[in-house]
Amino acid sequence: MNYPDLKFKSARQITIEEGQTLYGIALENKCDNILEVGTFGGFATLWLAQATKDLIDIEGNVTSVDFGRDIEPTAQDMVNLNHLSENVEFVFVSDAKMLNKVLSDVVANKKMIFIGENHDRTDKIWDAISKKLDDCLIVLHCVECKSATAMKTPSVYKNLAKVHDSHIIETVDDAGFKNSFGIVDYKTSNIVVEKKEPAKRQSKKQQTKKSKEEEK
Query: 202 in a domain, yes or no?
Result: yes
Query: 5 in a domain, yes or no?
Result: no
CATH number at residue 100: 3.40.50.150
Q: What is the pTM of this model?
A: 0.85
pLDDT at 15 over 70: yes
Residue 97: domain span:
16-215
What span, in angstroms and rounded, lies between the C-alpha atoms of 15 and 12?
Answer: 8
Query: 6 in a domain, yes or no?
Result: no
pLDDT in tens, 176-190: 888 899 999 999 998
Structural domain count of the chain: 1
Confidence of residue 80 (pLDDT cuts 50, 70, 90): very high
Least trusted range by pLDDT, from 7-16, 101-110, 146-155, 196-205: 196-205
